[in-house]
Structure 1
Amino acid sequence: MSDLDVRPTPVQCGGREDVSGGPVHELLKPRLTDLGAGMVVRRLLPTLGRRMVGAWCFVDHYGPDDIAEQPGMQVPPHPHIGLQTVSWLHEGEVLHRDSLGSLQTVRPRQLGLMTSGRAISHSEESPREHARLLHGAQLWVALPDAHRHTDPAFEFHADLPVVTGGGLSATVIMGEMDGAVSPGTAYTPIVGADLTLDGDVRVPVEPDFEYAVLTMSGIVEVDGVRLEPASMLYLGCGRRELRMRSDGPSELMLLGGEPFEEKLVMWWNFVGRTSEEISQARADWMDGARFGAVHGYDGPRTPAPTLPDLPLKPRGRTR
C-alpha cells in the first residue's frame, strides 16, 4: 500500500538506544488517512511517539468496510525502496500487480510479500467483481543495510503454518513462533502472527524481541490492558510469555522482532539512510526508468509529492 499523503512528513527511526529493556504498555493512537475512492485507513505506525516495532516500520489497518456498491481499494502504481510490503486480509481480496510482471489476487489468510530491494513499483486494487466486505492490514518491514539493494521480488504463500492449543490458533505470517516457521523470506529476526483466541491463553514470546499487538476484531485483554478493535498496543521487551484473554472469539495480530539497530529515513514510500538517497529515488520515479512499469492498472500512476525544504536526517526510534 502507498502512503498517499500529498505532504508526507519525514520520519526518522531505528537505533536501539530508545528501546526499553523491560515490559511497557503504550497505546498507539491511529491517524486517519484517506486513500481515495471512499477508503479511509487507520495509520498506527509510524506515530508521533513510536516509529518501529522490530523491523516493522509501517502499519495501516482498514475495515471492515462495506464496499458492495463501491470500487473498494484503488491504489495506483507507486514506487518503493528499502522495504518489504506484507499484505494481510481477514475479509475480501486485493489484486496485486508490480513492475516484475506479477499478477496475484491475495485472499484472507494468504501472504502477499513484496521485497522492493533497490527499486520496485506496484498497484493494489479490489477486483472489479469483489466481496461485500474488505478488512485487513498493510505492513512494511525495513530491510537491513546488507539487503536493501537486493533484487526486487514478489512471493505468494497460500498455505502458512498454524500453531494451535488451549483456545489459541496462530497463523505464522513472518518469522517463527513456537517452532513454526513462515515460508516468507525474512531478512531480520522478526515475527508476525495472526491470532484467533477464545478464553484465557498464554502466548510464548522471545525476551529479546520487542512486541506490539493490533486488534482486528472482538474485545481482548492483553497483559491486563483492555483493547477494542483497531487498537495497537506497544509492549516493549523482556517477556517470555504474553497473557491474553477474551470472553468470545477475538482476532489480533502479534508483531515483533529484535530492535532494529540501524537508523533510517522514511519519506513517502521510501526507506533509506540519507536525504540524498531519498531525493534521488524521488527523481528516478518522476523520470520513469528505475522503477519499471506496472501493466494492466486502469489509471495513471501516483506522482511523487514535493520534498521538504530541509534535509532529511536519520535519528532515533522515538521522538
Structure 2
Amino acid sequence: MTYGWLVANSSLQTEKFMDYADWMKKEAERQGVMLELVWNSDIPVVFDCLGRRDFALPRHKSHPDFVHFADKDLHLGAHLESAGLRLFNRTRTVEACDSKALMHTRLAGHGIPAPRTVIGPKVYEGCEQANTAHINNIIDLLGLPLIVKEAYGSFGKQVYKAETRHELEAIIGRLGSREIIFQEMITESAGRDVRLNVVGSRVVASMKRTSVSDFRANVSAGGATETWEPSEEEKEIAVKAASAVNADFAGVDLLFGKDGPVLCEINSNPHIRSIYECTGVNVAVPMIEHILTEIK
C-alpha cells in the first residue's frame, strides 16, 4: 500500500483544519493510500557538527512514499525535500503563495492579468517609516481608493481598504514593520470574486463568492457562495497562475475586471469544505489521484 504523510502545523489544531485532515485521510484510504497525520514539531530539522543535514524519522513512523505538505514551515519543507521526499506542494510553491509580495514577484513576466501592485518598502522591526513621500508615489500610481494587504495573511483578515490619504497613512502606521503590498482597487469586483480549484493542469471545481456587506468576498468574511461555470479565459488564467508557481494543486482567486478576469491570489493549501458544500465536487478525489500519478 502507498504510504504518505500529511504534514501539518502543531500550533494550528483547529476544527477547520482537523476536518480537512480527516477528509484527506479518508479519501486517500478509499484510493488505497495510507495517509498519516504528522505534526511539524515531531520532525526535527537537524544539522550535524559539520553542517550536514541529519534526517531522522519521527518515532513510530515509517519512511513515506510522499508528503502532502499542508503547512508553511519552509525550513521543514526544505529539510524533507533534501531527504529525497516528494512534497505536494513543493516548498518553493508554498513559499511563493505564502507571501503576496513574493507571489507577484514570481508571476512577473508570465502574462497573467493582475491588479497594478506596489510592494511596500521594508521597515525594520521596532522602527517607523520616516519617509512619507512614498505615499504620494503610491497614490499617483494606484489612485484612491486602494487596497492594502499584509504580505502574510489568510481568509481576507489582513486586507484593508483606504478611501483617503488619511486612511492610508493610518493603515501604514498601524501595520508598522509588517511587510505589505498596495494594489489598485478593482471596483467592479467589490464584494465579488471567483475561486477556482486547480489540480495538475485543470480546473476541477469553481464557485462565485459574494458579500453584500464587505469589499472582501471571502466566506470567512461573511461571503455567500454559488456554483460558477468558469469561462475558458478564467480557466486559462487559473491554470497558468498555478503553473507559474509550480503548484500541484491550488485555490486560485480571480476578480471581475472591467476588461476581463484578473488574478487576486493563489492559495497553495486551499480548504475544500466550502467548495464541496457549494458545488458537490470533492476536490480531495483528484488531489489524491494526482499524487498517485506523480509518484508512479
The question of a shared fold, defined as TM-score above 0.5 by the shorter chain, is answered with no
The alignment's TM-score, normalised by the length of structure 2, stands at: 0.31
More strand, by proportion: 1
| TM-score, normalised with respect to structure 1 | 0.29
Higher relative CO (Cα under 8 Å, sequence separation at least 6) belongs to: 1
User: Normalized per residue, which structure has more helix?
Assistant: 2
